[in-house]
Structure 1
Amino acid sequence: MPPRITTNPPHHQRKTGKYGPLIAAIDQGTSSSRVLIFSSETFELITYHQIEVKQIYPNEGWVEEDPTHLLETVQHCLGQVWEKLKTMHIDPNDVVAIGLTNQRESTIVWDKNTGVPYHNAILWCDNRTVQTVEKLLSKVPQHDVDYLRPKCGLPLSTYFSAVKLVWLFENVPGVREAAERGDLLFGTVDSWLLWNLTGGAHVTDVTNAARTMLMDIETTKWDKYLLKFFGIPKSILPSIKSSSEIYGYVKEPLPFQGIPISGCLGDQSAALVGQMCFKIGETKCTYGTGGFLLCNTGAERPDWGRERKYFRSWDLHFGSQKVKSTHGLLTTIAYKLGPDAPLIYALEGSVAVAGSAVRWLRDNLGIISSTEEVQRLAMSVKSTHGVYFVPAFSGLYAPYWESSARGVICGLTQFTTKEHIVRATLESVCYQVREILDCTYKDMGLELTQLLVDGGMAKNDALMQLQSNILGVNVVRPQMLETTALGAAIAAGLAKGVEVWSLPQILKGAAAVSDTFEPQIVKQERERKFSRWKQAIERSLFWEDCTVTAQRKRLLGDHWYRVSSLPFGLFVMGAFAMVILAHSRSP
């Protein structure tokens, strides 16, 4: 049965300010920590505070963050929004619940007695575990990366938490010993924050647990076989909860002490909820450090009998079935909005490099001085003049899942300028999203009529227009782009014991459309450009490891023999010579 949702919760019995009961959302992302305050009556963003998070790069391909710093930034943001509310003459005590959304897969282990981390957080985009993955693949038939998909929905990859945990057990002194003593705790960023903010609640939600490779996505329980495969003791794992229930209360002496934390979603699931994608086939793409596309594929009855029946809930068509991708996408949990609510599934495709490619142009090549000038430069030329950029700095994610791919800039001529390279950078994001959507079409058997977008990069009009051109469908951008935080707030407000709104009320108050970008090129031109992109991808694949295995032949189909046709030294020297020339030619 769906959860009981009322419109007259206890919080309405006391008087609140003009915005009614408020919901706070903690948004801990890869590049920043934020706390945002929403009105439960109008869904309006009242105020927020944001702090950038510093990333640490100990070695090439390694990406870390200090867990203590992450916690401190969240605590500081809570304090700042408390003060901002008072400055606005709004009583901070009007906040009745807190939702949490977080970067997924990033892995933290700490001592349960002292709370001290044993190592920096290993981020989702970290690539140090390539050899760990190879070692694990040696245990499975035909080195099949999809061997565990029937259990967890995920391929064996450096991306997910279990592989990072194996690395920590094998390489960080004291971790294995602490686990054997019963003193070790593991968590993704949500668990780390919840444990610290509540004073010891060691929990996670289904959307975050689904990204560890340790949870059975049908039972939503930690799976004995998966734990044995990776050599991970169950004792270190958090309890798995729904995405909308009270996990604990903010401890003293933090701001908002005593307020329940009642919503928890991985960032991409939160964005799906914030975009109101509650029906089958509704799809959103979040453009941030990476790019993440989720398509709602529906719900199965939560009492997993031998014969699974599908149903409607909350008077909405929630679903037909869990879709198992055969085209390189991930089967994952979209959300579960309450302990008794239906479990909603999604297909997901991930782009490793999106906004970070723009920062690479600024910080590594120096051909732009700020990210703000990207739109102007990209729109100052009519095309890339044949330039294609595959930003596979640490491999490619969906649908290839190939860690040995590397970045390629091809199609350079003596007439190439930095404007062409900047435009090619934006187009690279759009082409990768197109590849994921093509796979979604094949898995779902339906075509997208529009794409809902959000995230910081979605503010870029040039990127959104290019995306529409390359997809051939309308790209719809909401008026408020803080959909990830809004999704966490929605989950918190729906929780039993909070209940400041109902799902029909949420749908009625959905954010108004701000902009719709329509395709401006014809299909023939779109397909020609996409075909050239696929050629660039072929040159990127297996750059670090040119061994063409049977599985890689299947990945490339009839074109595997074309891989690495250009000598490495010649390409690199020529490419960077052209980049330098482009820089010198530009004003």
Structure 2
Amino acid sequence: MTHPPQAIGLILALDQGTTNSKALLVDAATGAVVGRGSAGVAISYPRPGWVEQDADQLFDATMSAAEQALATVDPGRVAAVSISNQRESVVCWDAATGEACGPVLGWQDARTADECSRLAADGLDAVVLATTGLSLDAMFSAPKMRWLLDRAVADGHRPDDLRVGTVDTWLVHRLTGEFLTESGNASRTMLMDLRTRTWAPALLEGFGVPATALATIVGSDHSFGRVRDGLPIPGGVPVATVLADSHSALYFHGQGRAGQAKATYGTGSSVMLPAALPAAGPVALAGGVAATCAWETDTPVYAREGNVVATGAALAWAARMLTDGDVPALGELAGLAEDAGGVSLVPAFSGLGAPYFDRGAVSVWCGMTAGTTRAQLARSAFEAVAHQVADVVEAMTADGAADIETLHADGGATASALLMQRQADLLGRDVQVSGVAEASALGAALLAARSIDPEVAWEAHEARRVVPSQNPGGAAADRAAWRSAVSRARHTTPAG
């Protein structure tokens, strides 16, 4: 059954990211974007390894973006709201007052790294890996939750009044008053049993997070309530779907089809590949790759994933060093060099994520000589991004149980032809670069449209395919040099 363009209305797709809140107004029948809005969100770094945001600003920026997107249309055409959100970041608030207790602890925040090491020494790491598919690491939410709860109690809040959750929970609570968390987001907390998609009592006890402070876990297309009055979004509109941003991009590109992987190039990078869990026993995977719940509708869809902590952040840092913070200018400078001249940048600003999960790693910029140029230094930053993604892809497919037919690339950094070419070269496989910049927002919007009409099918957006151009021997030599630099950053001896 084919619907006319306005037959099922518009989806207001809210995309709350690390550095921006965006909103798209999407025609539910066709996927056409008819309105846009965006508002920046601030990040603070009060101490080394600490990364904080303001919970009220995250919500206010999201509402500002929504207001911009709705400015030129009849709000009565909005049929549903969808949400995609940054993952692992944590908000704590007082249920009695509705006010946030302390800062948002960002997903990059590493203040709980020592606590994670202590818990691992007590054996909790094995339980976490077997139950949740995640490595016990400060990137994930549980230790952040405990830190915020402790601070709130110290500040005089009653423990029974405290609520804690990931960004999806905070947004839904502020929009509709419901206290819910989506299963894909919950799978990133180190507290959810991946097979049952319920909170795991042993992990709640291990991390010291009370079940009473946590939201109910629901599916991605569960009813998340209706928008309350007094907001820029029309009151009464249902919040139809919630997806974590990386999961949403995967949904947009392949809807869970085998072999259809994606790499999102944002502040950090997420590489995801749909893959079933082991048939029985622990859900853990080898090689520093996580198992995660990508989304849950009638049934859950699982995926393998590796998270790189600093990709876009690495480019931004290098731009501050070389081009007064101008990232496009950094790309132009990098394009002047034929190669990096033996220079390697390992941007372990708060340690390394997948596949290493080494919070003790330090940043290194090595291989310089008296003849090294600024252009080569700039190029090394783009090389660092491509190498880190290649590390994850290699780990993700090393056991032979899952393979990548197509790697879809999305995110702001995919605008760099240099980066995408180096990615294809280092992987030795084609890279399909998305024709849209808003894959995260559109994935959640597509799921929302299908919650209204299951027969909705949007036409594929144009993309460009980048094929390897470097000889395999050259790529292998570059990978070996990169591994040597990573070993320096980790204070280890290179393998082999």
Give the TM-score category using the shorter length.
over 0.9
Conserved 8 A contact 1:132-1:166: no
Cα deviation, 1:484-512, whole Å, max 9, x if unaligned, reads 001111222223xxx1343xx43xx2423
Instruction: Work out the CA distance in 1 between the residues paired with 2:424 and 2:267.
Output: 20
Conserved 8 A contact 1:277-1:296: no
Amino acid aligned to 2:101 = Y
Conserved 8 A contact 1:111-1:185: yes
Instruction: Work out the CA distance in 2 between the residues paired with 1:196 and 1:532.
Output: 49
Shift of 1:94: 1.3
Residue of structure 2 aligned with 1:459, choices 415, 427, 430: 415
Mean Cα deviation higher: 323-332 or 113-122: 323-332
Residue of structure 2 aligned with 1:167, choices 147, 161, 174: 147
Conserved 8 A contact 2:262-2:407: yes
Instruction: Work out the CA distance in 1 between the residues paired with 2:122 and 2:168.
Output: 31
Cα deviation, 1:184-240, whole Å, max 9, x if unaligned, reads 111111100100111x20001000000111110000001111111111110010011
Aligned position for 2:205: 228
Give runs of aligned pairs for residues 224-303 of structure 1, distance below 5 A: 224-254=201-231, 255-298=233-276
Amino acid aligned to 2:490 = L
Shift of 1:22: 1.0
Instruction: Work out the CA distance in 2 between the residues paired with 1:539 and 1:108.
Output: 36
Instruction: Work out the CA distance in 2 between the residues paired with 1:176 and 1:486.
Output: 42
Amino acid aligned to 2:106 = L
Aligned position for 2:164: 186
Aligned position for 1:576: none
Instruction: Work out the CA distance in 2 between the residues paired with 1:185 and 1:59.
Output: 25
Give runs of aligned pairs for residues 304-323 of structure 1, distance below 5 A: none
Cα deviation, 1:305-325, whole Å, max 9, x if unaligned, reads xx87xxxxxxxxxxxx99741
Amino acid aligned to 2:401 = G
1:343 counterpart = 2:300 = yes
Conserved 8 A contact 1:282-1:296: yes
Amino acid aligned to 1:80 = Q
Amino acid aligned to 1:46 = V
1:66 counterpart = 2:54 = yes
1:117 counterpart = 2:100 = yes
1:154 counterpart = 2:134 = yes
TM-score, normalisation: structure 2: 0.95
Conserved 8 A contact 2:8-2:29: yes
Shift of 1:92: 2.2
Conserved 8 A contact 1:298-1:322: no
Aligned position for 2:180: 203
Change (3 A) 1:59 1:24: same
| Secondary structure of residue in 1 paired with 2:61 | helix
Aligned position for 2:369: 413
Conserved 8 A contact 1:272-1:487: yes
Amino acid aligned to 2:340 = T
Change (3 A) 1:170 1:253: closer
Unaligned ranges ≥5, structure 1: 1-6, 86-90, 301-306, 309-320, 543-547, 549-555, 560-587
Conserved 8 A contact 1:299-1:343: no
Aligned position for 1:23: 11
Residue of structure 2 aligned with 1:536, choices 481, 485, 488: 485
Shift of 1:367: 3.8
Aligned position for 1:108: 91
Amino acid aligned to 1:387 = V
Aligned position for 1:490: 446
Instruction: Work out the CA distance in 2 between the residues paired with 1:225 and 1:145.
Output: 12
Shift of 1:46: 1.4
Instruction: Work out the CA distance in 2 between the residues paired with 1:538 and 1:486.
Output: 39
TM-score, normalisation: structure 1: 0.81
Aligned position for 1:358: 315
Conserved 8 A contact 1:331-1:348: yes
How many residue pairs get matched? 495
Aligned position for 1:77: 65
Change (3 A) 1:360 1:510: same
Shift of 1:449: 3.5
Amino acid aligned to 1:350 = N
Aligned position for 1:137: 120
Give the superposed CA RMSD.
2.2
Instruction: Work out the CA distance in 2 between the residues paired with 1:258 and 1:386.
Output: 59
Identity %: 32
| Secondary structure of residue in 2 paired with 1:439 | helix
Instruction: Work out the CA distance in 2 between the residues paired with 1:176 and 1:332.
Output: 36
Change (3 A) 1:168 1:512: closer
Cα deviation, 1:440-474, whole Å, max 9, x if unaligned, reads 11134344343101111112111111111111111
Shift of 1:44: 1.3
Mean Cα deviation higher: 291-300 or 23-32: 291-300
Aligned position for 2:76: 93
Conserved 8 A contact 2:317-2:325: no
Aligned position for 1:333: 293
Shift of 1:77: 1.7
Instruction: Work out the CA distance in 1 between the residues paired with 2:404 and 2:238.
Output: 38
Instruction: Work out the CA distance in 2 between the residues paired with 1:345 and 1:20.
Output: 30
Change (3 A) 1:152 1:176: farther
Mean Cα deviation higher: 477-486 or 265-274: 477-486
Compare CA radii of gyration and give the structure with the larger one: 1
1:397 counterpart = 2:353 = yes
Conserved 8 A contact 1:478-1:511: no
Conserved 8 A contact 2:390-2:426: yes
| Secondary structure of residue in 1 paired with 2:275 | strand
Change (3 A) 1:369 1:110: closer
Shift of 1:258: 0.9
Change (3 A) 1:229 1:344: same
Amino acid aligned to 2:286 = T
